[in-house]
Structure 1
Amino acid sequence: DMEKLARATGGRIVSNIEDLQPGDLGEATLVEERKVGEDKMVFVEGAKNAKSVTILIRGGFERLIAEGERALRDSLSAVADAVKFGKIVGGGGAVEIEVAKRLRAIAPKVGGKQQLAVEAFAKALEALPSTLAENAGLDALEMIMKLRAAHSDSNGRFMGINVFNGNIEDMFNLGVIEPAAIKLNAVKAATEAATMILRIDDFIAASKVGAGKEGAPGKKEGEKEGEEKED
């Protein structure tokens, strides 16, 4: 509790009071104990140099609280990644459609079997906005066609799906953005998984449960072909 209070007020813990300096003191405009539900909590407000904050999540049942905590952690992680790496991309399927468009443009220049791989990769990227459209209750095929048409314009690289009205709009104007690092890591992980599967040359099927070790399936050890077991 002492460490939490020090972080909340911007103060430093001093083991000997004789070593206390003005710079060690924290500051807050209000410190009080409040009752939240059945629990008593100490609230520290108005700290100038606070090094931590507390977010109180409340709900009617445990599952709702857990879901709220998960969503909050995901949001904070996304913001932290955006600040750390300093790069963002448009959401709503905008970046996937734009990358797919550019891959299709260079595919003919690659030629050979590699061209087919490039086109397949582009198609795989479009699965993400397609899934987004389906989850929003929209026609996935129609949305993909609209996205392709919007991205055919040189100024349409930020166009994505507005899941609230089903329109194709500029994601940056709507504030629908994603950290580039998260998007890049997701594509890398999916590509590595697909590569591992493609490298599999053969597989070994497991034997059925109860099959005998030797002879005909299901025969117990010691039995011979044609023998009948006496009752």
Structure 2
Amino acid sequence: MLTNPKMPLDILQGEAEKSAGEDMQTSIFAVAKEFSDFMASTLGPQSLHKMIVEQDRWAYIVTSDGETILQRFDLMQFKAKHPVARLMVELSKAQDYDLGDGTTSTVVLAGHLLKEAEKLVLMGLHPNTIAQGYKVALKQALVYAKELASPTTRDNLLRVAMTALDTKYTSVSKEQLSKMVVEAIMRVSNDGKERADPKDVHLVRRKGTGVLHSTLYHGFIVEKKMLDDSMPERMENAKVAVIDVPLTVKRYAGIFGDNPLHEVEIKDVDGLKAHREEEKAILRDMFVKLRDVGADCVISRKLIDHRIGRWMAKEGIIGIQAIPTKDDLKRLSKAVGARIISDLETIREEDLGFADSIEAKRYPDKETLIFIRNKHANTVTILLRGGAHHVISEVERGMKDAIHATSNALNGGWILPAGGACEVAIAERLRRYALTLSDKRQLAVQAFADALEGIPRTLITNSGMDQVKILMDLRRTQREKGPSYGFDANIREIRDMMEAGIIEPLSLKESVYKGAFETADTLLRSESVIYGRVFESRIKSELKKKRER
């Protein structure tokens, strides 16, 4: 049966009225259910995509990435107003910030926990009892997950990356992109000897050719053109200065930009000429400092005056300005081994970095990329190619998920079978554990187990299979052959997930379970909603009473 597609939008836009007690609980459960159901169709390799169209109907996004969907809703006119919807959006943001993946699973699991809680509330259980039972169940689930985990190996990393990429437009190029991700993570982690930081892997996309033409570079790619067209387009063995200070005297953008408390009074042409000469002298001094220290290339996060650009071009120095973010500047400095300069007065030769080569390339879309290569760099850049805009955007989102998943597996050191295998195995153990409890928490632990199985149920449903039959078969298979068996949505069969290479990091599963529990716990313990206007009127009422006394 088709559901009303407008319902989730109504919830995201809808503003709950002041409520308490049973009305509050009913509102929480209804919104959580609709929100979870709305996101559930984007889970797994057989997931459906959402097309999000902006208000002007020209800009749109086609994606199955949970974090992207919720982020766009939050930025567009569909601003979430209902407190439960807001909490779900914040949950997805927190999951993406902490682990970079698993946002959809977290939201879906939180919704299932609240669905099961609603059944218990209707049976007469107090929300606090349910929350306490869920807390006990979470503690046991984390223990069981650790028992099911296996150590991470180099081969496992490749499979983790492929699993993360499985839900995006990468079926043809999945293996090639996964190898690229693993090579990148091993590079930034010094071949696994150090902790991998996903931020050290930079992604740049450029339309044209196909995804199979994507390339990994040791170094950094700057999405900017050179400051002056007469600057050299290629340079080898270059000393690189990375600066975070403006090389200009423009008001609000130059060296006095942070403190523009100065005035220049010009009375005649000679005064204007003297002022221009003074500006030129200041700029010349900046240029000379950079030239004399031996910089072959100057890269700044802020503006560089066009006059300095001309002098650089005459001396054969490359200049690049306005690097988009501070994170990009940090990655760039790490790629060339330079110290970021914030004061030109203190610059020294040892502050400069080194690049094996710097090369500017122009693409058919008239955009220029500058490739800064360094074979010893601890940061890498992956240049993604693709045809349609929405395809390459989805590949980029998939690559981000794969990079985070692979780094989590390497840093955490443990992996688990995916495809719902872990959830079914933990649910079975939780049901046995629940029988050891002699109070009402037993029901909550069993409900937690049922909620966990919401993940494999969703994977099966999205594959077009009978969730009841497949889940029963999966439980029986695990009892007979072991807990590593799960549902492979690609071939719609039950198989050994470890042998099939469908695996996920333990740290990701732990984060999903914790995030979903914390959200469900917060909402279960919420008794009423007090909006700002109501609270403000109460304060005014109390003040009025005091004045009347």
2:389 matched residue in structure 1: 62
Aligned to 2:442: 115
1:49 partner SS = coil
| TM-score of the pair, normalised by structure 2 | 0.33
Q: Aligned partners of 1:42, 1:131: CA distance in 2, in Å?
A: 44
Of 139, 143, 155, the residue aligned with 2:470 is 143
**1:42 counterpart (355, 364, 370):** 370
Amino acid at match of 1:41: L
Report which of the two structures shows the higher radius of gyration computed on alpha carbons: 1
Amino acid of the structure 2 residue aligned with 1:179: P
1:39-79 Cα deviation digits (max 9, x unpaired): 2323355x431122111223334333322222111111111
Please give the per-residue CA displacement for 1:12-42, whole angstroms capped at 9, x wherever unaligned: 469545x69xxx87464x6543332322323
Match of 2:526 in 1: 200
- Counterpart code for 2:396: E
Q: Offset of 1:201 from its aligned partner?
A: 4.0
In structure 2, what is the equivalent of residue 75 of structure 1? 402
Task: Give the SS at the match of 1:82.
Answer: helix
Aligned 8 A contact 1:94 1:171 in 2: yes
Which amino acid letter does the alignment assign opposite residue 467 of structure 2?
Answer: A
Q: CA, structure 1 residues 127+39, in 2 after alignment: closer, same or farther (shift >3 Å)?
A: same
For normalisation by structure 1, the TM-score amounts to 0.73
Which among 437, 440, 453 is matched to residue 126 of structure 1?
A: 453
Please state how far the C-alpha of 1:6 moved relative to its aligned partner.
5.7
1:82-101 aligned at under 5 Å gives the runs: 82-101=409-428
Say whether 1:53 aligns with 2:385.
Answer: no
The residue that corresponds to 2:172 in the other structure is none
**% of aligned pairs identical?**
35
How far residue 11 of structure 1 moved from its aligned partner, in angstroms, is: 4.5
Given residue 113 of structure 1, which amino acid in structure 2 is its aligned partner? K
On the 8 A contact 1:33/1:42 being kept in 2, the answer is yes
What amino acid does structure 1 have at the position aligned with 2:368?
Answer: K
Matched with 1:33 is 360
Distance 2:381 2:529 in 1: 52
Matched position secondary structure for 1:200: coil
What SS does the aligned partner of 1:137 have? coil
Contact 2:409/2:506 (8 A) holds in 1: yes
Structure 1 gap segments, 5+ residues each: 205-231
C-alpha distance in 2 between matches for 1:169 and 1:162: 7
SS at 1:169 equivalent = strand
- How far the C-alpha of 1:189 sits from its partner, in A, is 1.5
CA offsets per residue over residues 111-162 of structure 1, 9 Å max, x none? 3312111111100000001101111222211221121011213x51111111
1:99–1:5 CA distance, 2 compared to 1 (3 A): closer
Distance 1:139 1:5 in 2: 51
The CA distance in 1 between the partners of 2:438 and 2:491, in whole Å, is: 40
Aligned to 1:224: none
Which one-letter code corresponds to 1:158 in the other structure? S
Q: Distance in 2 between matches of 1:111 and 1:98?
A: 23
Contact 1:91 1:160 in 2 (8 A): yes
* Aligned ranges 1:15-34 → 2 under 5 Å: 15-17=347-349, 26=354, 28=356, 31-34=358-361
Structure 2 unaligned regions, length at least 5: 1-221, 223-239, 243-330, 342-346, 531-549
* Native 8 Å contact 1:87 1:180 kept in 2: yes
**C-alpha contact 1:27 1:49 (8 A) present in aligned 2:** no
Match of 2:505 in 1: 179
For the 8 Å contact 1:57–1:69, the answer to whether it is kept is yes
SS in structure 1 of the partner of residue 494 of structure 2: strand
Change (3 A) 1:11 1:101: same
C-alpha distance in structure 2 between counterparts of 1:98 and 1:121, whole Å: 13
| Aligned-partner Cα distance in 2 for 1:185–1:6 | 32
**Bigger proportion of residues as helix:** 2
**1:6, 1:26 within 8 Å by CA — same for their partners in 2?**
no
Task: Name the aligned partner's letter for residue 394 of structure 2.
Answer: E
Separation (CA, whole Å) in 2 of partners of 1:55 and 1:158: 33
User: What one-letter code is carried by the residue in structure 1 that aligns with 2:456?
Assistant: P
**Contact 2:355/2:372 (<8 A) preserved:** no
Shift of 1:100: 0.2
Report the CA distance shift for 1:144/1:60 in structure 2 as closer, same or farther (over 3 A). Answer: same
User: In 1, Cα distance between the equivalents of 2:393 and 2:403?
Assistant: 15
Alpha-carbon distance, 1:83 to partner: 1.4
